[in-house]
Amino acid sequence: MKQLQLCDDIRDSLLPPLGVRLEDREGRAPSIKIVDPEELKKEIAAKKAAEEEKRMEKQKKKQAADAKAAQEKAKVMEPPEEMFRTAEYSAWDGTTGIPTHDAKGEEITKSQGKKLAKLQEAYRKKYDKWLQQQQQA
């Protein structure tokens, strides 16, 4: 493994300043080309910039996923009756917490109310599971 790293170091570090491009070709002999050293430097810099951009994008996605997971974890901690208490709705049923009117003051349709009740029931299961875990801990 160390020998392959040495070969990569020679190809990537020592040959480009001399104007030598060594290209690996799968299943065939490598290609050796003499080119302008400045052109090689630009290509290497562009390749490194692309790799850095890809790494940063991956890091951003990981941070977003971590933030979303933390938000989901925090959301589980609120009672199901409070889950729809947002600016999206203006009135709620007093016992269940299911919205009865949207933000514009229009009444929620029966089918929409059923969907919200279904969502709340699924959330209630997660909440009950979380409560059990908290009591055991």
Whole-Å CA distances, 46 to 49, 73, 127, 128: 5, 40, 50, 53
pLDDT, residue 55, reads 97
Domain chopping of the chain, boundaries: 2-64, 74-136
Which DSSP symbol is given to 89? Answer: E
When pLDDT is cut at 50, 70 and 90, the band that residue 110 belongs to is very high
Q: What is the pLDDT of residues 3-20, one digit of tens each?
A: 888 888 888 888 888 888
When pLDDT is cut at 50, 70 and 90, the band that residue 27 belongs to is confident
Mean pLDDT across 44-55: 94
pLDDT, residue 109, reads 92
pLDDT, residue 76, reads 66
Q: With a threshold of 0.85, does the pTM exceed it?
A: no
Q: What is the pLDDT of residues 63-102, one digit of tens each?
A: 999 998 888 776 667 888 888 888 999 999 888 889 999 9
- How far apart are alpha carbons 56 and 105 in whole angstroms? 44
The pair of structure tokens assigned to 10 is 């020679």
pLDDT, residue 115, reads 94
Where on the phi/psi map is residue 79: left (φ > 0), alpha (ψ -120 to 50), or beta?
A: beta
When pLDDT is cut at 50, 70 and 90, the band that residue 54 belongs to is very high
- How far apart are alpha carbons 106 and 26 in whole angstroms? 66
